[in-house]
């Protein structure tokens, strides 16, 4: 029986991304049973006798709804392998679990200095526990030079919010020569856009809050590991700190996977159209999208990504210009996060923590009609210019 519960004679048939996403993690078919059972709301389970070997004992240790989601995530991240996936209450819970379960006093950790801004808070925690942290920009030779003596290399590619890209395979090979564990934050790409485990990474971590679930209604994170020992460390950390997802959130996430390919394909098409339209505007500078052929990261992204994501970043002349643009948008909502079905945009400088100009805008393209999104952006740019 394969991971989807289908007979083995179907397992060897290559599946497309959309088919895999629809069927991933489903249980074996049973007469009159739903294809995806509802969430299992349970703090405890009937547990007679010796609990050794019991699949479920207590609600913090495991839940059937998590199990189904984790099977699905493992299959999407590593379709031809034996990855171990673990669901968490949020992306930050997943990131923290990997770093704080694996890093010891004296270890050297290499982190991106242009990644998700809460990595800075994790860096402070690691240093407080006696680790040495080297921070380097995504892409370029500095990432390779920082690997000497490293115990863990953390990559975020494409980076958020700058959308730089680094070579996962080459960096993983170099890091493994140093004995380092290689972790890739795959939030922006999703497993349908990029599979870090198949590119040589040891761990793929992501915020499922973003494009994976895609509806802006779930906080979730996950970790996928090639090695069972690493997965066990992360699982124990989850248990100790209690960073577990609720069954309803896990069920919503699993349900949402069925539309993942439809959503990311539409978002990628529109993001590229948006980038091309913005490239024609004289007030726009610093335009980035890895799917744009003119983007500096495109050649590398094209080698290791299958889809280029929903995020476009660019800079307007100043803070006031950016605020006028955002206020003039009608279809595109002002909100943080990215990857949802509704297009959103924000001026990242309002939060602090990101080394970006005051007029820097991160745009997340949703699944609206491409022409409507482009028209809304161009109209808002015109309005911001006239004011």
What is the pLDDT at residue 80?
Answer: 86
Residue 7 pLDDT > 70, yes or no?
no
pLDDT tens digit sequence for 282-313: 999 999 999 999 999 999 999 999 999 999 99
Q: Contact, 249 vs 213, CB < 8 A? A: no
Residue 53 pLDDT > 70, yes or no?
yes
Q: Contact, 231 vs 222, CB < 8 A? A: no
pLDDT band at 355 (very low <50, low <70, confident <90, very high): confident
What is the pLDDT at residue 11?
Answer: 52
Which residues have a Cβ under 8 Å from the Cβ of 111 and sit 6 or more positions away? Answer: 119, 122, 123, 133, 134, 135, 136, 154
The position carrying tokens 């991240």 is 77
Give the whole-number percent of the chain exceeding pLDDT 70: 97
pLDDT tens digit sequence for 369-386: 999 999 999 999 999 998
pLDDT tens digit sequence for 73-116: 999 999 988 999 999 999 999 999 999 999 999 999 999 999 99
Residue 10 pLDDT > 50, yes or no?
no
Annotated catalytic sites, by residue?
60, 116, 185, 210
pTM: 0.94
Which residues have a Cβ under 8 Å from the Cβ of 343 and sit 6 or more positions away? Answer: 331, 332, 333, 363, 364, 365, 366, 368, 373, 376
The SS3 of residue 111 is strand
pLDDT band at 1 (very low <50, low <70, confident <90, very high): very low
What is the pLDDT at residue 12?
Answer: 60
The SS3 of residue 262 is helix
* Rounded Cα–Cα distance for residues 209 and 217 (Å): 8
Residue 6 pLDDT > 80, yes or no?
no
* Rounded Cα–Cα distance for residues 234 and 239 (Å): 9
* Rounded Cα–Cα distance for residues 128 and 139 (Å): 27
Average of per-residue pLDDT values in the chain: 95
pLDDT band at 228 (very low <50, low <70, confident <90, very high): very high
The average pLDDT across 17-34 equals 95
pLDDT band at 3 (very low <50, low <70, confident <90, very high): very low
What is the pLDDT at residue 9?
Answer: 43
């Amino acid at each position: 029986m394969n991971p989807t519960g289908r007979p083995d004679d179907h397992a060897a048939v290559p599946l497309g991304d959309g088919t895999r996403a629809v069927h991933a993690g489903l249980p074996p078919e049973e007469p009159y049973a739903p294809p995806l059972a509802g969430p299992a709301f349970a703090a405890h389970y009937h547990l007679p006798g010796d609990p050794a070997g019991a699949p479920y004992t207590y609600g913090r240790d495991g839940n059937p709804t998590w199990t189904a989601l984790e099977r699905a995530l493992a299959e999407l991240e590593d379709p031809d392998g034996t990855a171990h996936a673990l669901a968490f209450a949020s992306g930050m819970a997943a990131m923290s679990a990997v770093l704080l379960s694996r890093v010891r006093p004296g270890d050297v950790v290499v982190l991106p200095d242009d990644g998700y801004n809460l990595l800075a808070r994790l860096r402070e925690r690691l240093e407080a526990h006696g680790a040495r942290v080297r921070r380097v920009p995504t892409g370029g030779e500095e990432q390779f030079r920082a690997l000497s003596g490293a115990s863990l290399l953390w990559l975020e590619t494409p980076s958020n919010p700058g959308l730089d890209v680094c070579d996962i395979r080459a960096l993983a090979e170099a890091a493994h020569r140093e004995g380092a564990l290689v972790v890739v934050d795959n939030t922006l790409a999703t497993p349908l856009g990029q599979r870090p485990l198949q590119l040589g990474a040891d761990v793929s971590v992501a915020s499922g809050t973003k494009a994976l679930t895609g509806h802006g209604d779930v906080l979730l994170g996950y970790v996928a590991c090639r090695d069972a020992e690493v997965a066990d460390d992360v699982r124990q950390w989850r248990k100790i700190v209690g960073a577990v997802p609720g069954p309803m959130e896990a069920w919503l996430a699993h349900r949402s996977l069925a539309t993942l390919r439809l959503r990311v394909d539409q978002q990628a098409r529109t993001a590229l159209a948006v980038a091309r339209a913005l490239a024609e505007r004289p007030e726009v500078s610093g335009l980035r999208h890895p799917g744009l052929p003119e983007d500096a990261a495109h050649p590398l992204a094209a080698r290791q990504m299958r889809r280029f994501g929903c995020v476009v970043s660019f800079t307007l002349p100043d803070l006031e210009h950016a605020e006028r643009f955002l206020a003039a948008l009608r279809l595109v909502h002002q909100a943080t996060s990215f990857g949802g079905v509704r297009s959103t945009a924000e001026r990242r400088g309002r939060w602090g923590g990101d080394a970006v100009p005051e007029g820097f805008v991160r745009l997340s393209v949703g699944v609206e009609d491409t022409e409507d999104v482009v028209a809304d952006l161009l109209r808002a740019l015109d309005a911001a210019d006239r004011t």
